[in-house]
């Protein structure tokens, strides 16, 4: 096997070293998971660890990495190189950056980058990314959905050296922590990420010692070439053409009007172009995405629909992404971006819908979006007696595919690797009590393969007083289905439902006052369906009724399946086959 690197390697050596790079990323992820302080990182796995070559080109990432961070590796390390310069980098240096316009998604996603030297030779970069619960600003959690500029979203950090030749720069650290809530927790996460980098550095040093730097460099180049070859071969098997799709974020919070993302996918031989230039102008609130976040979203869609391809810089050689500066998906400073997660999900949904037209065998309905919630206040419980800030998320249904129903209550495409933060841990660490945490019946988009079910939660506040901040999407229009599959149910959020103090806060709120005894009910959206619901096997509909996924009424209305209840207590139900055939014939005749 030859390479554009500095030597040649055989196939066996290539696989050994390639998998060693993957193992480096996985071990960095494990270090962060085991040592970080904040629950979204150590329990929720809102992090990533990557390896880039000596020039900053993404080489490898971990299977445990948050998908939203996949495409960031194309920008982050190179941006640090651009700002700092390779000549200014020395062994033991670690750089920090969170600038969303050139290197990140929003200011909460904080990146640490370490150049790896073997002797005097720079051979790689290791990077650790994680979502910090707070980076300052007027809103606890810094997720200010109604911000009009990044000045209201916390500390924006350009490339800065946080460790110099192995020693921390205390002045820089003090400046950063002085601008953030709960600095002890931020320091714990910083230490975890930097420890992960040192682990990655040590493992790559060992690889160089065992195989030599020429082989290591060659494999880095070959890994990118391999990914390029795979995606180009896949594209050659797809029909050339133009495939268009669009989707909407519920609202620009400054106007209350929806914002549309338009994707035109062009496939020409072994190259494809995602053109988003027809998308709406930038919003007056924080739902804008930078070109960095937009690129990561497109990479998520590619990884979700195309056959498995190691996502690294080689993929970008066969993919062009066009976005208009000043638009909703190519925000320019100082446009607000802190709640861009909802828009990233919409870009992924539109790009996935376009790809599904070109490759229906691997297409899918649209998934739910993640609700991000922050609770802040004073915890007066004995032994705590301090300010607290909890950042947590609620998940929903995935879209159905040609062969399989969508998964229930999981992270959306850009957050597919996040894990549930157990309510027991939340109740122990924070003054909250969870009354309900369950699947929501009839929330999945119907289809030949239905979408996944949504989540319903009810949380009670057991602190004297504080605030609620949240942002989400799909409150107005549910996630679309594909190939005649139907939309999933919409999401919602209500305070004190069923009481005199009931109020519909909606999925977008900033610093809403809450007090002891009040409750929050949230339900996420269901996933979109795949294919005509009238083609779903009645036996599968019957199973869904038994599982309380689908009600008898919905079985009739959505699927045209007539189910009779025999004994609910023992889950005895039966399909009336004759009535079902008649009803389905009637419903098909009524279809436009």
Instruction: Quote the CA–CA distance of 80 and 98 in Å, as a whole number.
Output: 11
Question: pTM for the whole thing?
Answer: 0.94
Q: Give me the torsion for CA of 509, 512, 517, 523, rounded to 10°.
A: 0
Instruction: Quote the CA–CA distance of 318 and 234 in Å, as a whole number.
Output: 11
pLDDT value at residue 573 = 97
Q: Which two tokens stand for residue 418?
A: 């996040």
Instruction: Tokens 């109740």: give the residue.
Output: 427
Instruction: Quote the CA–CA distance of 27 and 62 in Å, as a whole number.
Output: 9
pLDDT value at residue 2 = 45
In Å, how far are 20, 24, 74, 227 from 207, measured between CA atoms? 8, 10, 23, 22
Q: Counting every residue, how long is the chain?
A: 592
CA atoms within 13 A on the CB side of 114: 29
pLDDT value at residue 415 = 81
Contact status, residue 385 vs residue 464, Cβ threshold 8 Å: no
- Interior angle at CA 147, CA 144 and CA 151, nearest 5: 100
What sign for the dihedral angle of Cα 338, 344, 345, 350? positive
**Helix, strand, coil shares of the chain as percentages rounded to 5?**
35, 25, 40
pLDDT tens profile 318-336:
999 999 999 999 999 999 9
Residue 67: strand, helix, or coil: helix
- Interior angle at CA 176, CA 86 and CA 138, nearest 5: 130
pLDDT value at residue 450 = 98
pLDDT tens profile 102-124:
999 999 999 999 999 999 999 99
Q: Which two tokens stand for residue 463?
A: 């602190």
Q: Which two tokens stand for residue 508?
A: 């977008």
What sign for the dihedral angle of Cα 135, 140, 144, 145? positive
Helix (H) or strand (E) holding 563: strand 563-567
* DSSP letter assigned to residue 406: P
Instruction: Quote the CA–CA distance of 240 and 272 in Å, as a whole number.
Output: 9
Instruction: Quote the CA–CA distance of 92 and 85 in Å, as a whole number.
Output: 16
Q: Among residues 366, 425, 416, 423, which one has the least CA distance to residue 395? A: 416
Contact status, residue 197 vs residue 28, Cβ threshold 8 Å: yes
Q: Give me the torsion for CA of 292, 298, 301, 302, rounded to 10°.
A: -110
Instruction: Quote the CA–CA distance of 122 and 273 in Å, as a whole number.
Output: 34
Q: Where are the alpha helices (DSSP H) in 103-182?
A: 170-177
Which 3-state string (H, E, C) describes 281-301?
ECCCCCCCCCHHHHHHHHHHH
pLDDT value at residue 72 = 87
pLDDT value at residue 4 = 43
Contact status, residue 142 vs residue 338, Cβ threshold 8 Å: yes
Helix (H) or strand (E) holding 123: strand 121-131
Contact status, residue 273 vs residue 322, Cβ threshold 8 Å: yes
Phi, psi (deg, nearest 5) at residue 536: -70, 135
Instruction: Quote the CA–CA distance of 243 and 263 in Å, as a whole number.
Output: 8
Instruction: Quote the CA–CA distance of 205 and 217 in Å, as a whole number.
Output: 13
Mean pLDDT, consecutive 10-residue segments, the chain of 592 residues?
60 96 95 96 94 97 85 92 97 98 96 97 97 96 94 97 98 97 97 98 97 97 97 97 96 94 98 98 96 95 92 95 97 96 94 95 92 93 94 93 95 82 92 95 98 96 92 94 96 95 90 94 96 98 97 98 95 96 96 84
* DSSP letter assigned to residue 340: T
Instruction: Quote the CA–CA distance of 277 and 146 in Å, as a whole number.
Output: 25
């Amino acid at each position: 096997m030859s390479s554009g690197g500095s030597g040649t390697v055989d196939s066996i050596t290539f696989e050994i070293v390639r998998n060693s790079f993957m193992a480096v990323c996985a071990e960095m992820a494990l270090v962060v998971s085991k040592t970080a302080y904040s629950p979204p990182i150590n329990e929720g796995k809102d992090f990533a660890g990557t390896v880039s070559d000596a020039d900053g080109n993404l080489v490898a990432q971990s299977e445990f990495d948050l998908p939203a961070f996949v495409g960031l590796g194309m920008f982050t390390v190179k941006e640090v190189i651009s700002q700092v310069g390779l000549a200014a980098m020395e062994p033991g240096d670690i750089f920090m950056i969170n600038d969303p316009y050139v290197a990140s998604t929003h200011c909460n996603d904080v990146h640490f980058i370490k150049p790896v030297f073997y002797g005097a030779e720079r051979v790689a970069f290791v990077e650790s990314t994680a979502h910090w619960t707070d980076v300052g600003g007027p809103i606890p959690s810094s997720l200010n959905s109604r911000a009009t500029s990044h000045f209201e979203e916390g500390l924006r950090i350009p490339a800065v050296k946080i460790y110099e030749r192995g020693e921390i720069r205390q002045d820089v650290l003090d400046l950063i922590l002085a601008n953030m809530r709960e600095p002890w927790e931020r320091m714990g996460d910083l230490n975890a990420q930097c420890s992960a980098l040192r682990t990655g550095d040590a493992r790559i040093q060992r690889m160089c010692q065992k195989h030599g730097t020429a082989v290591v460099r060659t494999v880095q180049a070959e890994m990118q070439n391999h990914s390029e070859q795979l995606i180009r071969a896949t594209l050659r098997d797809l029909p050339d053409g133009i495939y268009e799709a669009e989707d909407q974020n519920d609202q620009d919070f400054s106007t209350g009007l929806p914002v549309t993302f338009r994707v035109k996918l062009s496939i020409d031989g072994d190259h494809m172009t995602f053109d988003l230039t027809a998308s709406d102008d930038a919003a007056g609130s924080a739902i804008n995405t930078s070109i960095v976040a937009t690129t990561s979203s497109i990479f998520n869609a590619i990884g979700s629909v195309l056959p498995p391809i190691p996502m690294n810089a080689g993929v970008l050689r066969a993919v062009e992404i066009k976005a208009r500066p000043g638009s909703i998906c190519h925000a320019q400073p100082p446009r607000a971006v802190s709640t861009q997660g909802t828009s990233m999900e919409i870009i992924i949904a539109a790009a996935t819908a376009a790809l599904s037209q070109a490759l229906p065998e691997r297409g899918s309905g649209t998934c739910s979006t993640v609700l991000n919630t922050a609770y802040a206040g004073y915890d007066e419980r004995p032994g705590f007696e301090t300010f607290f800030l909890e950042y947590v998320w609620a998940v929903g249904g995935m879209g159905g595919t040609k062969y399989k129903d969508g998964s229930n209550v999981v992270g959306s495409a850009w957050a597919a690797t996040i894990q549930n933060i157990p309510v027991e841990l939340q109740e122990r660490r924070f003054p909250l009590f969870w009354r309900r945490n369950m699947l929501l019946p009839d929330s999945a988009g119907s289809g030949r393969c239905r979408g996944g079910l949504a989540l319903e939660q009810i949380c009670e506040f057991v602190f004297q007083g504080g605030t609620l901040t949240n942002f989400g999407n799909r409150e107005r229009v549910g996630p679309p289905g594909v190939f005649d599959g139907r939309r999933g149910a919409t999401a919602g959020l209500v305070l004190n439902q069923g009481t005199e103090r009931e109020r519909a806060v909606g999925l977008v709120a900033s610093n809403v006052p809450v007090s002891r005894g009040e409750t929050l009910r949230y339900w996420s959206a269901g996933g979109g369906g795949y294919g005509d619901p009238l083609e779903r096997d009645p036996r599968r509909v019957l199973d869904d009724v038994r599982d309380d996924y689908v009600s008898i009424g919905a079985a009739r209305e959505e699927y045209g399946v007539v189910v009779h209840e025999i004994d609910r207590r023992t889950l005895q139900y039966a399909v009336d086959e004759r009535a079902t055939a008649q009803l389905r014939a009637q419903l098909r005749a009524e279809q436009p």
